[in-house]
Amino acid sequence: MPSDTTTDRRPVPQTLPADTPKEGWWRSGTPWIWLNAMAVGVGVSAVAGLLGLIAVRGLAHFWPADVAVMGLADGSIVMGELVDVEYTDPASFEQAGGQDAGPIERWLVKTGNRRINGPDFRWVLAANVADTRFPSDVAVFERTEWGNAYGRISALYENGVLVANGNHAWNEMQSRLERVVELREEMTATQSTTIDPVNYKLERLRIERRRHVLEGTPEAPGLAEEERRLHATYREAETRLRTLADAMRRDAVEIVIMDGRTLVQPLGDVIGVWQPNSMSVYDKLLHYMKSLGVFLTGEPREANTEGGIFPAIFGTVMMVLLMAVIVAPLGVVAAVYLREYARQGLPVRLIRIAVNNLAGVPSIVYGVFGLGFFVYLVGGTIDDMFFPEAQPAPTFGTPGLIWASLTLALLTVPVVIVSTEEGLTRIPRSIREGSLALGATKAETLFRLVLPVASPSILTGIILAVARAAGEVAPLMLVGVVKLAPALPVDAIPPFIHLERKFMHLGFHIYDVGFQSPNVEAARPLVYATALLLIFIVIALNLAAIMLRSRLESRYEIVET
């Protein structure tokens, strides 16, 4: 038990003198704190709502929706997927009779069968629908072209001979579809492993023969024999492709569509078939995951409104990484010179003003500069000096991945310069002086002490540069991005990395699908899905840089005394 002499160490509350005026609620600043908190909350809610809208609209596209068969009041039948519901002004429809009947409900139905029915989307007034059914035998055919087909399977043919009909046709068709998938994969492998390398080698031989002609030197021995061997290999592969294509056209399925007409669909043009009305939740979930995987790993079809977007994902990530590799040394070297070596005065202040103003230049201006300087001047000069035998076809004197990365590096280098300079400014001068006093040179102080301590600020600039470069579209349209690239910038053909090739980009893909697509309704879900994927890629790249920055901050933390 404490004695009476124990000192009470509890803090004694301090009271203000009686003559000290108390601050009012407004003068205390509390309202501004709450207003700032409300603004942050509204901003976070808006961002979360936007991401939620994009996710719902984009990811719902891959779910196998039920197919409805709707009987209309006029006796016609509409078969398809219910895509959207809209309420419109009754004055725009004659059915309203000019009366104030309230908003009219209409349904957007994806009817498919574009090849014989025209547009594969149709608006249906809800008041005109007499009955709606969901038959279990209605199938959805995903095709390589002409979009989806909806109908009932009536018969299966092999080389024009009836093989099965009715319910037996469905089971027989599934086994034959597996054969078609194997044949399609074999055709793709033949194209990528034989046809493409042979074409590349034949083009190199043509260029080498032209180089000998320009230089006036005799042809290398064995050149003609190598060319004959490559042509023979090409003919064999081409014959193999024709054989596989004929084998894929062997089977065909007869489909009864909504108006009672029949459609004979070759199985070689079918990618997948499913009956959504008879699928369980588990089956739909498996189909959903498979469709999402095809979207992430497949190639685009039907003017980018069908298929996957893997070339765009690959091009975006590769361009951003290459841009980061270029912009980091440029921005850091410029910032180190301005802060550590340049004599501070009017010229340096003017340079800093110019750097800050460059951050506000419209991005399309950088695209025009990149097209004129990098593509035409630098690339054209490289072609004249090192690739004269390939003229007039340009090698580097045309938009490509390297020029797009350099253009975006110039676009984002002011951000890296400013961020790096701020990091260098925060380093106390005593650290530099202590290093020099211990006998280190200025270069050793810079590389072993100053730059490691400033590395978190450098990474902050790179993070901001990556975030901006990943979403830019306008300059890329001039310096390398295309609607559909024939080949990836990286493949198995030497030299394996082809920086001169054109590439696809997620940002341009969103613009092309959303505003240049011939089928707007079909492309709308892909716009949301691609935008969500682009956001995830930017977040992933930023998180990787943020984690690295946090480790560097904890390692090179400056303790002030």
Is it the case that residue 17 has pLDDT exceeding 60? Answer: no
Is it the case that residue 437 has pLDDT exceeding 50? Answer: yes
d(C-alpha 498, C-alpha 396), whole Å: 10
Whether the CA torsion 311, 317, 322, 326 is positive or negative: it is: positive
pLDDT in tens, 407-432: 999 999 999 999 999 888 888 888 88
pLDDT of residue 242: 93
Residue 200: count of CB within 10 angstroms of its CB: 15
From the list 307, 313, 556, the residue with the least C-alpha distance to 448 is 556
pLDDT of residue 1: 42
Confidence category of residue 558, pLDDT binned at 50, 70, 90 = low
Confidence category of residue 4, pLDDT binned at 50, 70, 90 = very low
Looking up tokens 């199985």 gives 267
pLDDT of residue 400: 93
Max Cα distance, the chain (Å): 113
Min mean pLDDT across 264-278, 349-363, 522-536, 539-553 is at: 539-553
d(C-alpha 23, C-alpha 490), whole Å: 67
DSSP assignment letter at 486:
S
pLDDT of residue 10: 52
For 457-514, give the secondary structure using H, E and C: HHHHHHHHHHHHHHHCCCCHHHHCECCCCCCCCECCCCCCECCCCCECCHHHHHHHHH
Which segment, 7-11, 174-178, 235-239, is predicted with the most confidence on average?
A: 235-239
CA angle 444, 450, 451 (to 5 degrees): 95
DSSP output for 357-421: HHTTS-HHHHHHHIIIIIIIIIIHHHHHHH-GGGTTS-SSSS--HHHHHHHHHHHHHHHHHHHHH
pLDDT in tens, 75-107: 888 899 998 888 877 655 554 444 555 688 899
Is it the case that residue 7 has pLDDT exceeding 60? Answer: no
pLDDT in tens, 480-506: 999 888 888 888 887 888 899 999 999
Q: What is the mean pLDDT of residues 193-200?
A: 90
Contacts of 422 (CB under 8 A, 6+ apart): 457
**Backbone angle region of 557, left / alpha / beta, with phi > 0 → left and psi within -120 to 50 → alpha:** beta
d(C-alpha 502, C-alpha 476), whole Å: 10
From the list 485, 505, 518, the residue with the least C-alpha distance to 319 is 505
Is it the case that residue 22 has pLDDT exceeding 90? Answer: no
Is residue 130 within 8 A of residue 71, CB to CB? The reply is yes
pLDDT in tens, 266-307: 999 999 899 999 999 999 999 999 999 999 998 888 878 888
pLDDT of residue 9: 52
Buried b (16+ CB within 10 A) or exposed e, 386-395: ebebbeeebb
pLDDT of residue 306: 85
Q: What is the mean pLDDT of residues 500-524?
A: 86
Is residue 294 within 8 A of residue 307, CB to CB? The reply is yes
The DSSP bridge pattern shows strands 67-72 and 104-110 to be unpaired
pLDDT in tens, 60-70: 889 999 999 99
Is residue 489 within 8 A of residue 479, CB to CB? The reply is no
Confidence category of residue 3, pLDDT binned at 50, 70, 90 = very low
d(C-alpha 54, C-alpha 48), whole Å: 10
Q: What is the mean pLDDT of residues 189-216?
A: 88
pLDDT of residue 6: 45
From the list 432, 423, 446, 462, the residue with the least C-alpha distance to 330 is 462
Residue 422: count of CB within 10 angstroms of its CB: 15
Confidence category of residue 114, pLDDT binned at 50, 70, 90 = confident
pLDDT of residue 31: 81
Q: What is the mean pLDDT of residues 191-206?
A: 90
Could you tell me the two tokens for 240?
């193999």
Helix (H/G/I), strand (E/B), else coil: 273: strand
Whole-model pTM?
A: 0.85
Is it the case that residue 23 has pLDDT exceeding 60? Answer: no
pLDDT in tens, 307-346: 889 999 999 999 999 999 999 999 999 999 998 888 888 8
The DSSP bridge pattern shows strands 138-143 and 77-88 to be unpaired
From the list 307, 195, 193, the residue with the least C-alpha distance to 242 is 195
Q: Is 324 exposed, middle or buried (0-12, 13-18, 19+ CB in 10 A)?
A: buried
Q: What is the mean pLDDT of residues 348-364?
A: 88
d(C-alpha 432, C-alpha 219), whole Å: 63
Amino acid occupying residue 297: T
Confidence category of residue 16, pLDDT binned at 50, 70, 90 = very low
d(C-alpha 374, C-alpha 16), whole Å: 70
Q: Cis peptide leading into 428, omega within 30 of 0?
A: no
pLDDT of residue 100: 54
DSSP assignment letter at 497:
B
* Percent over 90 (pLDDT), the chain: 35
